[in-house]
Amino acid sequence: MIKEIQKFWVSQSATWIKDGKCLILEARKRPGYWGLVGGRINEGEEAESAFKRELKEELNLDNFENLGLVDYLVFYKNSSGKEMSTPVCIVVSLIKSDQIVDICDLNEHSNLTWISENEIDNYKYIVRGLDKIIKKAFVKYKGIS
């Protein structure tokens, strides 16, 4: 008997640390919950192109350097409101840029802020475990700066 292949989403997010602070964005659909800039890779899209597209769409950021992988998270998206059905893998990278940004995609985010390492635990995150990823990003950032 052949088992059906489970479908899943792959998403990419960026931890952007600048002047000792990390950028986080408030989710429009879940006020009070915060996340990182980024999003899904569309069918037929290359990973690098998708990453650049998401940063451009959400922050109008087009001048950045990808400093490499921080970590990844896997969770199930609650698409029906009743049960968790779609597995999602978020690949999180650390980026560097001197560009000044503002929120462009107001459908997804309502606010942005820059937080220091000691402020990470003061926020609720849209994805469980994102606080640990941000902490790992600060460790990586210190190791290369």
Could you tell me the CATH number of the domain that includes residue 58?
Answer: 3.90.79.10
Domain-located, residue 109: yes
Average pLDDT over residues 56-81: 85
* 82 band by pLDDT with thresholds 50, 70 and 90: low
Is the predicted pLDDT of residue 93 greater than 70, yes or no?
A: yes
Domain-located, residue 3: no
Q: Could you give the residue ranges of the DSSP H alpha helices within 4-145?
A: 47-59, 130-144
CA 28/CA 32 separation, integer angstroms? 9
Domain-located, residue 120: yes
CA 48/CA 22 separation, integer angstroms? 21
Domain-located, residue 54: yes
pTM score, two decimals? 0.87
Domain-located, residue 136: yes
Domain-located, residue 138: yes
Percent of the chain past pLDDT 90, that is, above it, reads 60
pLDDT tens figures, 95-133: 999 998 876 766 788 899 999 999 999 999 998 999 999
Average pLDDT over residues 63-78: 89
How many domains does one find in the chain? 1
| CA proximity to 12, closest of 49, 64, 44 | 49
Can you give the residue range of the structural domain that contains 119? 9-144
